[in-house]
Structure 1
Amino acid sequence: MKRDWLPTITNPWALALLVTSLLILIQTSALPRQLDHWLLDKVMTTTPPSLSDKVAIVAIDELSLERIGRWPWPRNIHAELIRKLDQSGADTIVFDVLFPEPSPDDHQLAEAMRLHGNVILPIYVSSSLPDRPLREELPVPDLAGSAAALGHAHVELDDDGIARGLYLYNGLGKQLWPSLSLAAQGIGPKQDNSRPAPAFINVREDFRVVPLTGGAGSVPTYSYNQVLDQLAARQAFDGKVVFVGATAAGFGDVLPTPFSGLSRPMSGVEFHANAYSALQQDNLIRPVPNWFGFALAALTTLLLAIALPRMRPNQTLAACVATVIALMGLYGISFYSFDLWIPIANALLVPILAFPVSSGLRLAMTNRFLNRQLDALARRPQLPLPEASRRHPTQLLDHFRALFQPQGWLLQLGSETLTRHTLGPGDIPGDLVPGHWQHANRVSWIALRRGELMYTLGLMLPDDLSREAIQRYLRRLNLAETSRKHEASKPRENISERIERVRLATGRLDRMQQFIHRSFERMPDGVIVTDELGVIRFANGHIEEWFREPMPSLNGLPLTNLLEGHDPRETPPWYETVSETLTLQQSRTVDLQIRGKDFLIHFAPFALPDSDQHGIIANISDISELREQQRQHREAIDFISHDVRSPLVSQLALIEQLKRDPSHVDASTLEQLGKLARRSYHLAEEFVQLARAEQLTETRFYECEFLAITENARDSVSEQAAEKGIQLQLQGVEDLWLRGNAELLERAIINLVTNAVQYSPANTAVSIQAYRAGHEACLTIADEGSGIDPQELPFLFDRYRRQKQTELAGIHGTGLGLSFVKTVVEKHRGEISVSSTPGKGSTFTMRLPIADPLA
């Protein structure tokens, strides 16, 4: 397609100016600094360096405070510690403990320090009062003179309160003290004569990031009390630099670090030990000057401003992502290879800002293309469904008569009757609200305003269950006249006008797509649409339900694999059917079985208009019910051809015999003819009753009392039971009202009681119990007969099914009685079950919902 709407190049200065302006605006927040700190923390905690084996800590911990006493301790205790460490071979002892005030035991501590010869003491720059100038907290002169070196104990906290580094030199005026870690390496104070500085000004130089080896406790630590109580092993301190300081929580000398934040802060002495370890291994990280980060951001801005406008839209994001990756690569190489920390937050923000800015500029340049396409988009098809509120009342009445077949109607204009049947002007209610239906039993009225005219429309609906549904439908139907919305005034802004036109056009397209999608979903058949390779691209809900495949797995699945996985076949194979549909462009119809259900799948090729794309639409119909009806039809034919014909043929044979010799008509022959006739009648009666039960609907239901129905059924079978000496024992005193068909329910109970009498030995009892259980009316019929074979129980209610045991015993049935009972119970939304023990009898239980469960 011709892309004359895309410019060959965009002005790079517009992009550079916008990105730079946004970047300057971001500098007013803490975002760049927070991002730099976050990156630094991630790098340091992901790959921490190893700890030098020359570092150890003697901790003034809680145990030492408990054993030695409250702080401060006598300085002879520190002298004893130095002697112990000297005996253990410690090379350097670094105290992170201030000694600013004299003590009686200073001479002992000084003597121990001189004997060891390499003890480092701290200094601290602070102010005694908030309004007083800064001063240096130095050790007392005796101790300072005995120390091998002095170093400052300051650790720098960043803006977020996290300790990440320290200044190698810190002091007042021109003399700068080295850090404790630097002093431990024998480096002394530095005189800074490069600039004049008053003696009360705190001067700091050479900031370094300390790469910690881990969280708190990563440096080997020994309790102060433990070292005093026993001479530590030489391997613990031999040749090492030993840092002595407080780790007890009560001292408050704790520092949040990138490893832990405030959850597990690190003691100051351990931070200095980490600093010494990094200094000894030349791992201290040096930050680059601030101007370098801004220069890198400016260079990144310039490169992207030149490159992005020349790229295709789909390449812009890749270029921005590549820029971010390149900056992160520069960051990692500088950090790991050269021990440099480059604040790249501003440079990283440049591609993040450049992508939406360049996209916005590119969208602005598509203006002409959008203008040319809007008219074509607005002319796309829409659903031609006129509103019912704009139809004339005479037309509405014609539609209502065709749709609902009312038994009467009236249409009146003012006081003039236009058309009527059964209803008259005197039937019109006096309080009609225009546009709102008013229902009075079976008659519905509405007043319709059309311009300056007022119409009155009335319908007399059928007096059956459909009336309520029709009235609910009429209430949902909007027939009130609505004025056409005035065309919206043309927006002042050109872009607003285009957006509104796009919104209207896309709204029509969306409604069309939703209509098509809902139509597919509400179709009674399953629908599958494939592409030109037979891969499923759409399937409606029936496919997901029948195949039990989630919709995400259906999309992208070859149709052949779906069919082969649920109904594998060899002749013809599924791939052949699908491929011939695509290659020969011919429709196919094939049987399909899924989990015991029968389906018919019709393959139809299609081709998209104005495109080379084509595929298959597969329509899958559930024909399980049709196949079941066909099976029942075949069974009915077999039943009629065998069970019904057999007694008729016997009757005809006896009649022919009597016709040949009328003089030999005896009672036994007539009795035989009677039995055959009665058997034919019973067969026909049961067949008709089953058909009536299958056609039963709730429109033929009414209020009926279950106990009375049971009593009538018992009375109908009492004579047959008395012939065998069987007692029918009915138990039940509570009225159980149901909504159902009493005639068919009584017939079903008669069948159950008749079976119980027929299969029970003489002089036994059949128990009949009618009772209520929760929201159900229950009937239990128990006999003392021979019972039912457990293998036959699952098929007991199947039609035309006879028990082998009873057939062999000479009790011949039709196989329709229990099927009739089950059909009647299911039509009443109930359940029937049976329990049987061979040789002891059977119990049938019927459960039906009562009419008013709250009564």
Structure 2
Amino acid sequence: MNRDWLPIKTTPWTLGLALLFLSLLAETTDLPQRIDYWLLDSALLANPTVTSPNIAIVAIDDLSLARQGRWPWPRETHANLIHKLHQAGAKTIVFDVLFTEPSTDDTKLASAMQAHGDVVLPIHLAPSNPRLQLSEQLPPGNLISAASRLGHAHVELDHDGIARGLYLFNGMGRQLWPSLALAASGASPREPDTQGLPAFINVRDDYRIVPLAGRAGTLSTHSYSDVLSAAMSPDAFHGKTVFVGATAAGLGDILPTPFSGLSQPMSGVEFHANTFSAIQQLRLISPAPKWTGVALALITLVALATLLPRVRPARTLLACITVGAAILSLYLVLLHTVNIWLPVANALIIPLVAFPVASGMRLAMTNHFLNRQLDGLVRTPRVALPEPAKHPASQLLEHFQALFQPQGWLLTEAHDIISSRNLNLKDVPTNLEAGLWHHSGNQSWIRLDRGNVCYTLGLILPNNLNLEAIQRYLRRLKLSSTETFEKRLSPSENISARIERVKVATQRLNHMQEFIRRSFERMPDGIIVTDELGIIRFANGHIEEWFGEPMPSLSGLPLTRLLEGHDPRETPPWYETVSETLTMLQSRTVDLKIRDKDFLIHFAPFALPDSVQYGIIANISDISELREQQRQHREAIDFISHDVRSPLVSQLALIEQLKRDPTHIDRSQLEQLGRLARRSYHLAEEFVQLARAEQLTETRFYECEFLSIVENARDSVSEQAVEKQIALQLQGTEDLWLRGNAELLERAVINLLTNAVQYSPAGSAVSIQVFRAGHQACLTIVDDGAGIDPEELPYLFDRYRRQKSSELAGVHGTGLGLSFVKTVVEKHRGEIYVVSRPGEGASFTLKLPIAEPLP
């Protein structure tokens, strides 16, 4: 179906708007966020942080609960732990245990904290009662006074429920408390940047991502009860920051991390210890501002929208992969080098969707263009020849009448005669097979099935030499339809319909190209087609054969260089002829000579398609035969004016002499007049015979037996041989059948035998051998004459040429005999050659092809 609407073209604007729409659509889902979290987790898991050696954890684990009793423990127990750690040399003690309510043991705990001097306590932001507003849950006053610093114990869970970081500062509207890890590093509370907020508002600031060292249990951990009950090694806590917190199931925080998810969650105290380790190594990761991710996405969108419409379709995927790799490289460099987390999901989605979007838009354009082109191709008239089997029977009869001029015909439909002449229903052979010709004498019959109708066609062909050739032609002619009528599908899918249309259009194009190619290849002339620069773009097989240049080297070769390389000339130069054809748009016809052959080359300009320039069609005709005929015509005129005219003039002079004195007529004068008349007759006869030989065609060929031809020729020259007492010795008994003209063949053998007798000495013998060699019938004639001079052998068969030695010896000839022999042999597709040495006679061998049996 033809569509007149134009699809959206692949331009920076159209592609950019499409990518922007898809990006905004993706932003309405949680896909970009999930991609960002996955990239972050994958990058951190691939390169875990090395833990700081100055960190230890004292865990309130299940073993400690079993030994110390149910939770909560007396604060005296925590005081004893502080004494133990102080004795072990702990530098800082960080409690991830909330002391939000007063206790009778607070004095002991405060005393222990003051004795150590660097104990950090946690605070918690939560409503003290479900009915109350959010508030800061602080330790009792004496513990606050004894603590070196306070820090919040909150860890943030991202939207997917995974703990990846925390806010370094968190608090109410009055002040912001540092996190436990930051407080352990010496940080103090600070004023919020926003003043005038209500006291119940939770304010968080400075979110950081914590690169964990690994799964839960990666950091050095000691059981709370073991520390209380046993003496610790000097290196266990000396100079270290010790985090104290719950790890027992159901007691402490349960934080899913990228390393474990919910399968092996991490306790809050270990998370804070990992945060402190990252602070000590300056490895905390800061999220980039939100506008940077948007800016990167816009830059990516603009870059791809500008680049993709300009690159080739095959490089679209490579361009998208390159842009995506550049974004990931930037992401990893910022994350591992500068400790900045840049969300790149929005930017990465753009090259991911850019490839299918750009390809889809290009396919839509291509599809629309191909549809229009296919519609035009399908509507284009077919150049391929229609099958003869599709012609109606009456039309076939008309074609045969025009082609063969039959003496009679009959065409019937079933038993009804449609057309007839000299044939009737009684002449129709029985058991005719559909589509197969039946030949009987000069009658040819065939049965044609056209659907449900049966036709019978009969012809009476001309009973001449062409009969067998016509019947062979009819056998090759396919008049029965072998087409299998397949059910034509009407595909419901558009792509299937296009494939069918492409198939039809491709078949028509292939038929057209094959038709044109074969037409050009079978042309009798050579064809060269050039572009507007005179560069050869097409040449048929004759050019390759005549110039001796392989076809691949012809394509792309300047026409002037080809012509100059085979027929260099100065006036006019080839470049001038070619350039004038292109510039002045005038046809030129120039002689051309290649390898001693004469050609005529005609240059004609033609308008190139979709261009204002012109190319050249060069038609090269082989006129060697024409030039040879012109040369022969001139030689014939010279021959007639000299050889034929000379004896006639002598005859006229002798007759005038006899007329002046008719009473004194000598016998010698009459004999001389007879010789001159016979010479004139022989000249005319040989001239006529040569003309007949040159006009001989295969239409005048028929079956003939070679040995009989040679025997007849021997008998014709036997009288001449007897006069010189020369024996003609014929050897050969095998019948060798040829397809040729027996009359001219016999005349050619007579010429050879006449020459052998004429040039042989009296009393000698001439050997005649007829034999078969493979698929050839051979004749060899050997004489004992004076032989032929080697210098004269190459010109022996040229017409009007006589041997000097023969003329000097008094043997006069016309120079047409051997030329006639060679012409007859060549017309019969045979060959003749001679072997001779002076004083040793000559041997002429003639070879002709034996007739093959008819199929």
Give the alignment's TM-score, normalised by structure 1. 0.58
* Equivalent in the alignment of 1:312: 309
Deviation by residue 1:366-387 (Cα, 9 ceiling, x = unmatched): 4455555554454344338666
* Equivalent in the alignment of 1:255: none
Other structure's SS at 1:801 match: coil
1:416 is aligned to 2:419 = no
Which amino acid is the alignment partner of residue 765 of structure 1?
A
Asked if structure 1 preserves the Cα contact closer than 8 Å seen for 2:799 and 2:818, the reply is yes
* Equivalent in the alignment of 1:809: 809
Q: How far apart are the structure 2 equivalents of 1:745 and 1:677?
A: 27
Asked if structure 2 preserves the Cα contact closer than 8 Å seen for 1:567 and 1:593, the reply is yes
* Equivalent in the alignment of 1:5: 9
- Residues 506/313 of structure 1: CA separation in 2 closer, same or farther (3 Å cut): farther
Asked if structure 2 preserves the Cα contact closer than 8 Å seen for 1:6 and 1:366, the reply is no
Other structure's SS at 2:586 match: coil
Asked if structure 1 preserves the Cα contact closer than 8 Å seen for 2:393 and 2:448, the reply is yes
Q: How much has 1:496 moved relative to structure 2?
A: 2.6
Q: How much has 1:361 moved relative to structure 2?
A: 6.1
Q: How far apart are the structure 2 equivalents of 1:3 and 1:481?
A: 44
Q: How far apart are the structure 2 equivalents of 1:301 and 1:698?
A: 84
Other structure's SS at 1:802 match: coil
After TM superposition, the structure 1 = structure 2 runs for residues 181-260 of structure 1, keeping only pairs within 5 Å, are none
Which amino acid is the alignment partner of residue 623 of structure 1?
I
Q: How much has 1:535 moved relative to structure 2?
A: 1.4
* Equivalent in the alignment of 2:673: 673
* Equivalent in the alignment of 2:405: 405
* Equivalent in the alignment of 1:719: 719
- Residues 785/426 of structure 1: CA separation in 2 closer, same or farther (3 Å cut): same
1:557 is aligned to 2:557 = yes
* Equivalent in the alignment of 1:40: none
* Equivalent in the alignment of 2:820: 820
Other structure's SS at 1:412 match: strand
- Residues 829/517 of structure 1: CA separation in 2 closer, same or farther (3 Å cut): closer
- Identity percentage of aligned residues: 70
Other structure's SS at 2:663 match: helix
* Equivalent in the alignment of 1:647: 647
Q: How much has 1:732 moved relative to structure 2?
A: 4.0
* Equivalent in the alignment of 1:746: 746
Deviation by residue 1:397-417 (Cα, 9 ceiling, x = unmatched): 222211121111012233333
Q: How far apart are the structure 2 equivalents of 1:519 and 1:611?
A: 26
Deviation by residue 1:742-775 (Cα, 9 ceiling, x = unmatched): 4333322222222122222333333333344444
Asked if structure 2 preserves the Cα contact closer than 8 Å seen for 1:308 and 1:319, the reply is no
Q: How much has 1:538 moved relative to structure 2?
A: 1.4
Deviation by residue 1:824-843 (Cα, 9 ceiling, x = unmatched): 33333333221212123222
Q: How much has 1:850 moved relative to structure 2?
A: 4.3
Q: How much has 1:501 moved relative to structure 2?
A: 3.0
Q: How far apart are the structure 1 equivalents of 2:373 and 2:765?
A: 89
Max radius of gyration: which structure?
Answer: 2
Deviation by residue 1:237-281 (Cα, 9 ceiling, x = unmatched): xxxxxxxxxxxxxxxxxxxxxxxxxxxxxxxxxxxxxxxxxxxxx
* Equivalent in the alignment of 1:765: 765
Other structure's SS at 1:399 match: helix
- Residues 805/370 of structure 1: CA separation in 2 closer, same or farther (3 Å cut): closer
462-471 or 510-519, which deviates more: 462-471
Q: How far apart are the structure 2 equivalents of 1:542 and 1:511?
A: 22
After TM superposition, the structure 1 = structure 2 runs for residues 137-156 of structure 1, keeping only pairs within 5 Å, are none
Deviation by residue 1:418-449 (Cα, 9 ceiling, x = unmatched): 32211111011232345554433432223445
* Equivalent in the alignment of 2:755: 755
Q: How much has 1:702 moved relative to structure 2?
A: 4.6
Q: How much has 1:806 moved relative to structure 2?
A: 1.2
Q: How far apart are the structure 1 equivalents of 2:734 and 2:390?
A: 59
Asked if structure 2 preserves the Cα contact closer than 8 Å seen for 1:432 and 1:447, the reply is yes
Q: How far apart are the structure 1 equivalents of 2:622 and 2:648?
A: 40
**Which structure 2 residue ranges, 5 or more long, are not aligned?**
1-5, 32-216, 221-295, 328-349
Q: How much has 1:483 moved relative to structure 2?
A: 10
Which amino acid is the alignment partner of residue 574 of structure 2?
W
Q: How much has 1:698 moved relative to structure 2?
A: 4.2
Asked if structure 1 preserves the Cα contact closer than 8 Å seen for 2:408 and 2:420, the reply is yes
Q: How far apart are the structure 2 equivalents of 1:816 and 1:747?
A: 12
Which amino acid is the alignment partner of residue 408 of structure 2?
G
Aligned residues: 559
Q: How far apart are the structure 2 equivalents of 1:507 and 1:403?
A: 30
Q: How far apart are the structure 2 equivalents of 1:598 and 1:451?
A: 55
* Equivalent in the alignment of 1:48: none
Kindly report the root-mean-square deviation, in angstroms, between the aligned alpha carbons of the 2 structures: 4.1
Q: How much has 1:796 moved relative to structure 2?
A: 0.6
Q: How far apart are the structure 1 equivalents of 2:831 and 2:484?
A: 57
- Residues 476/301 of structure 1: CA separation in 2 closer, same or farther (3 Å cut): farther
Which amino acid is the alignment partner of residue 578 of structure 1?
V
1:522 is aligned to 2:522 = yes
* Equivalent in the alignment of 1:779: 779
Other structure's SS at 1:791 match: coil
- Residues 637/485 of structure 1: CA separation in 2 closer, same or farther (3 Å cut): same
Deviation by residue 1:125-184 (Cα, 9 ceiling, x = unmatched): xxxxxxxxxxxxxxxxxxxxxxxxxxxxxxxxxxxxxxxxxxxxxxxxxxxxxxxxxxxx
- Residues 697/509 of structure 1: CA separation in 2 closer, same or farther (3 Å cut): closer
- Residues 451/551 of structure 1: CA separation in 2 closer, same or farther (3 Å cut): closer
* Equivalent in the alignment of 1:662: 662
Other structure's SS at 2:792 match: helix
Q: How much has 1:653 moved relative to structure 2?
A: 0.8
Asked if structure 1 preserves the Cα contact closer than 8 Å seen for 2:442 and 2:463, the reply is yes
Which amino acid is the alignment partner of residue 749 of structure 1?
V
* Equivalent in the alignment of 1:627: 627
Deviation by residue 1:767-818 (Cα, 9 ceiling, x = unmatched): 3333444444433322222211100001111111111111122211101111
Q: How much has 1:589 moved relative to structure 2?
A: 0.9
Q: How far apart are the structure 1 equivalents of 2:774 and 2:396?
A: 50
Which amino acid is the alignment partner of residue 9 of structure 1?
L
* Equivalent in the alignment of 1:457: 457
Q: How far apart are the structure 1 equivalents of 2:500 and 2:22?
A: 28
Asked if structure 2 preserves the Cα contact closer than 8 Å seen for 1:705 and 1:737, the reply is yes
- Residues 513/711 of structure 1: CA separation in 2 closer, same or farther (3 Å cut): closer
Other structure's SS at 1:662 match: coil
- Residues 468/15 of structure 1: CA separation in 2 closer, same or farther (3 Å cut): farther
Asked if structure 2 preserves the Cα contact closer than 8 Å seen for 1:320 and 1:352, the reply is no
Q: How far apart are the structure 1 equivalents of 2:384 and 2:831?
A: 49
Q: How much has 1:581 moved relative to structure 2?
A: 1.2
Q: How far apart are the structure 1 equivalents of 2:832 and 2:371?
A: 71
Q: How far apart are the structure 2 equivalents of 1:792 and 1:508?
A: 60
Q: How much has 1:718 moved relative to structure 2?
A: 3.0
